[in-house]
Structure 1
Amino acid sequence: MTLIKTSLLNGIAVLVKMLTLLGINKVLAIYVGPVGYAALGQFQNAIQMITTFASGAINTGVTKYTAEYHYDEKKQQSVWRSAGTIAICGSLICSVIIVLFSKELAAWILNNDQFGGVFRWFAGTLVFFTLNTLLLAILNGKKELLRYVAANIVGSVFALVVTTALAIFSGLYGALIALAIYQSISFFVTLYICSGADWFRFSYLFGRIDKLVAKNFLKYTAMALTSAVCVPVSHIFVRNYLGSSFGWESAGYWEAMWRLSAAYLMLVTTTLSVYYLPRLSELTHHEEIKAEILQGYRFILPCAAICGLIIYLLRDFIIHILFTSDFLPMRNLFAWQIVGDTLKIGSWILAYVMLGKAMFKLFILSEIISAACFYLFTVMFTSHIGLEGVSLAHAVNYAIYWLLMTWFVYRALRRMRPEVLAG
């Protein structure tokens, strides 16, 4: 599967997901407003952290080793069995903890302990949430792109239907519940899609944990847990800082801008995860890896830059169509946010080399530095130029991150032997 073919096929799922996200944005803009957007962002960051811990943070490892063991189905099944057992046990433990501390979590994350029920809904469906992401990781590693696309389309449709219904009938509380449960509902459809493949059996998700597989997962666990802590926590800190310094409406403007960025960059970021991660896991020679990186810069980076330019030129129209007039102040965030998004994609092309080749020490260090710098730059720049400083912080942070990735990744590739690259 080539990069262009993968991008085109994956583009179908991305288009559907993008349209549903934009529809969800409009519904949320009407029924929860800027302050509600800030709360949704807080809860989404909490979900990212909790689900990563619950799954054992191994889904990236599942994709890598499923792709790497493409020649040996027994090894693949051992990977899935170990991953499934870890995910189920981790989910059950996390669910109990969430239920016991639901009010405290609601008070800390959402500044309102009356939202404790949202966390209990999340706890009750967490095991299906983690199993759904596991199945998607397996499909990705198997390069079953059509099934992967179908599963993602169904998940997008569920997200739109569930979020719209609950937001209309229960406002912010309903929108938070929708965010907590829609991927869990999608599990049953993803399972049905996987069951049609001759290489899959539901029993492959349970059984004895292979010690060698678990050891291989440790690197990815360390990397994923670092991301699960650093990125969401830095966003929570930034959101709290903006809320206390400029008001929670301003925090909502930034959250809306961030969601818009995620929506229009989706084609690029999903292509990186669907094509680059399995592909880089297969390659064992540094010259081949360099060729894939250069291909990404020829195709993916210009695509991201062009999309960003279009978004910037149409920013007023986009705000009116996708949000409401209450969100007009966010127009000042577009310029530096778009610059930062383009720089982010440039750096992520290199960052996926770290994931594909399990350069876990470099990855962990870079994630910690990037998250800390984003918060510090936000405080620094907003104190001088106001809310627009958070977007400038985003751009400056990824400019530095890209420079560091260029230096460290190419330096690491020159030093690594082909047999090391395979692991």
Structure 2
Amino acid sequence: MKIPQFIRANLLLKMTSLNAVVITIRLIVSLFIQRLLAEIVGEAGISKIGQLRNLSQMLTSISSVGIFNGVVKYVAEHKENKEQLTKLFSTAFFFTVIGVVCCSLILYFGADHISEYLFGSNSFSYLIKLISVTVPFISMQRIFNGVVNGLSMYKQFAKIDLFAYLLSAILTVTLLLNYNIDGALIAIALAPVIQLLVLLFIFFKVLKEYVQFNKISFKAPMGKSLLAFTTMSLVSTVLLNYVEIDIRTMIVNRITEEDAGIWTAMTFISKNYMVFSGAIFTLYVLPKFSSIHTRSGFTKELLNIYKTLLPIFGVGMILVYLFRDVVIQIIYPDFTGMEPLFKWQLMGDFIRLASLVLAHQFLAKKLVRNFIFTEILSLALFYILARYFTATYGVEGVVIAHFVRYVIYFIVVFLLVYRYFRKQASKD
């Protein structure tokens, strides 16, 4: 089937349409898996899965020392300069070795304590030790993924994303049916291994062209440049997942583990449609903003992104809200009390999308202070408001906090981005 001309003429729309196919397939598979999980492990099991996924996301950032966005930026800028790329990957190798060794040792020797903190008992310490072995795969997959994104190879990215997800889904279903909650958790722990193998299988020839492995040394010539991204990533990813773990634990302690599972299920649905935007940010938005240096150029591109993405997401979210009862019946039939969470989660996610497009200017221009300030503000608002609203509204209070947090975040990010351009104009 030929892609219509108006889509082919718009790179963002072209990426979005291709990504939509991948996300649709992922969504269908995810619905099946989430339904199976809901029936077999229940709300309490979903809560445990949420804890492990948050830990995995923290490790994704820490094991690669948070340099993913830096790799994307500098690959996009220096893809024709082999010397600069060698410096970049030497630094990435240096950083990731440190990150991998630290993470693996802490996970292996602190397995009992980490299991107790995440799951309320040390019975899952074997799982934490297993994850300590997979840390190198997590780190390598993250760095190589940065190369794919930096080159804006959206077709290859779509293939890697889809095949890796389908193989992980098969592993999850197989282990879940045979070993219940333990099997589901083990599948999540092994997912990075599958993702890396698929990435190498599809992308290795291109990878060899840009990453000259024989010239990589254990040095960090671009250390200072990448450390800015380290700081930004560790603040956003690590703190975000820590806050989510803490809020889930708070729900368990204040209300019930079942309510924690209901909120986690709501975030799973949210992440299924928000993942649609993740590839667009790294494949298109970040490289594009990196190459724009004027306020007029930025404003034009921002409006183009908003005109393309926001209507698509808006219509999708309205449909999810209108058919929320059907969604609950299909995916989480026994999760009573989930319906009131939809409106706040969806409104918050829509504003979040608009905010994150703007906030990628901080990453593109390495505005470290602005990025850290807005991320800490966002997380602090979520943490404080979730605790405050939960006391009055129960588990619904967490998604109300999610909405309020992003309204304030959007306003602050908007003001800071345009303050940056005013400063740039005054220098000229």
Q: Shared fold by TM > 0.5?
A: yes
Provide the residue aligned with 1:72 in structure 2.
Answer: 81
2:302 maps to 293
| 1:158, distance to aligned residue in structure 2 (A) | 2.0
CA positional deviation for 1:326:
1.6
Name the structure 2 match of 1:414. Answer: 422
Q: 2:347 matched to 1:339?
A: yes
Partner letter of residue 144 of structure 1?
M
Report if the CA contact (8 A) 2:82-2:210 is conserved: no
| Cα displacement (A) at 1:204 | 6.2
Q: Which runs of 4+ in 1 moved over 4 A?
A: 417-420
1:283 corresponding residue in structure 2: 292
Q: Which residue of 1 aligns with 2:3?
A: none
Q: Which runs of 5+ in 1 are unaligned?
A: none
Whether 1:217 and 2:226 are equivalent positions in the alignment is yes
Q: Distance in 1 between matches of 2:212 and 2:272?
A: 32
The amino acid that maps onto 2:394 is G
State how far apart, in whole Å, the 2-side matches of 1:419 and 1:195 are.
Answer: 44
- TM-superposed CA distance for 1:229, in Å, is 2.7
TM-score (norm 2): 0.93
Q: Which moved more, 1:338-347 or 1:41-50?
A: 41-50
**Residues 134 and 192 in structure 2, CA contact (< 8 A), matched pair in contact too:** no
Structure-2 residue corresponding to 1:207: 217
Equivalent of 2:375 in 367, 374, 383: 367
1:123 offset after TM fit, Å?
Answer: 0.9
User: 1:352-391, aligned counterparts within 5 Å?
Assistant: 352-391=360-399
TM-score, with normalisation over the residues of structure 1?
0.94
Instruction: Report the counterpart of residue 122 of structure 1 in structure 2.
Output: 131
CA distance, structure 1, for counterparts of residue 274 and residue 43 of structure 2: 22
Please name the residue that 1:399 is paired with. 407
What is the match of residue 34 of structure 1? 43
Q: CA deviation at 1:352?
A: 1.0
Contact 1:333 1:388 in 2 (8 A): yes
Give the 3 Å change call, closer, same or farther, for CA 205–148 of structure 1 in structure 2.
Answer: farther
- The structure-2 alpha-carbon separation of the partners of 1:15 and 1:419, relative to structure 1 and needing over 3 Å to count, comes to farther
Aligned residue for 2:109? 100
Checking the alignment, whether the CA contact within 8 Å between 1:312 and 1:338 is kept in structure 2 is yes
1:191 alignment partner AA: L
Q: Is the Cα contact below 8 Å between 2:385 and 2:401 reproduced in 1?
A: yes
Q: Describe the shift of the 1:70–1:201 C-alpha distance in structure 2 as closer, same or farther (beyond 3 A).
A: closer
Amino acid at match of 1:65: Y
Question: Which deviates more, 109-118 or 294-303?
Answer: 294-303
Tell whether 2:18 aligns with 1:9.
Answer: yes
TM-fit CA distance, 1:71: 3.3
Cα shift at 1:202: 6.7
Distance change in 2, residues 1:347/1:204 (3 Å): farther
Q: What is the percent sequence identity of the aligned residues?
A: 28
Aligned to 1:310: 319
AA aligned opposite 2:282: S
Decide which of 171, 177, 191 is 2:200's aligned counterpart: 191
Instruction: Tell me the amino acid that sits aligned with residue 267 of structure 1.
Output: F
Q: Which whole-Å deviations, capped at 9, do the CAs of 1:116-150 have from their partners, x for residues lacking one?
A: 01111111111011111111110110112222111
Shift of 1:207: 2.0
Shift in alpha-carbon separation, 1:145–1:21, aligned structure 2, 3 A = same
Quick check: 2:61–2:234 contact (8 Å CA) kept in 1?
A: yes
Q: Label 1:14 to 1:206 Cα distance change in 2 as closer, same or farther (>3 A).
A: farther
Q: Which amino acid in structure 1 is aligned with residue 100 of structure 2? A: S
Q: Indicate if the aligned counterparts of 2:93 and 2:218 stay in contact, CA closer than 8 A.
A: no
Q: Does 1:257 align with 2:266?
A: yes
CA RMSD of aligned residues (A): 2.0
Distance change in 2, residues 1:201/1:299 (3 Å): closer
- Is the partner of 1:57 in helix, strand or coil? coil
On the 8 A contact 1:88/1:131 being kept in 2, the answer is: no
Pick from 24, 32, 45 the counterpart of residue 33 of structure 2: 24
Q: Name the counterpart of 2:63.
A: 54
AA aligned opposite 2:128: F
**For residue 417 of structure 2, what is the amino acid of its counterpart?**
V
Matched residue of 1:330: which SS? coil
- Distance change (3 Å), C-alpha of 1:82 and 1:106: same
User: Measured at CA, do residues 61 and 204 of structure 1 come closer, stay the same or move farther in structure 2, by a change above 3 Å?
Assistant: farther
Q: 1:338 to 1:205 in 2, by over 3 A?
A: farther
| Offset at residue 243 of structure 1 (A) | 1.2
Aligned CA distance change for structure 1 residues 111 and 293 (closer, same or farther; 3 Å): same
Aligned residues: 418
Contact 1:16/1:156 (CA < 8 Å) preserved in 2?
A: no
Indicate the SS of the match to 2:321: helix
Deviations 1:198-233 (A, max 9, x none): 62457269423242x111101100000101232111
Q: Equivalents in 2 of 1:397, 1:303: separation in Å?
A: 23
Shift of 1:287: 2.1
> Are 1:142 and 2:160 an aligned pair?
no
Deviation at 1:88, TM superposition (A): 3.1
Query: In the aligned structure 1, how far is the partner of 2:172 from the partner of 2:424?
Result: 47
**Residues 243, 379 of structure 2: 8 Å contact kept:** yes
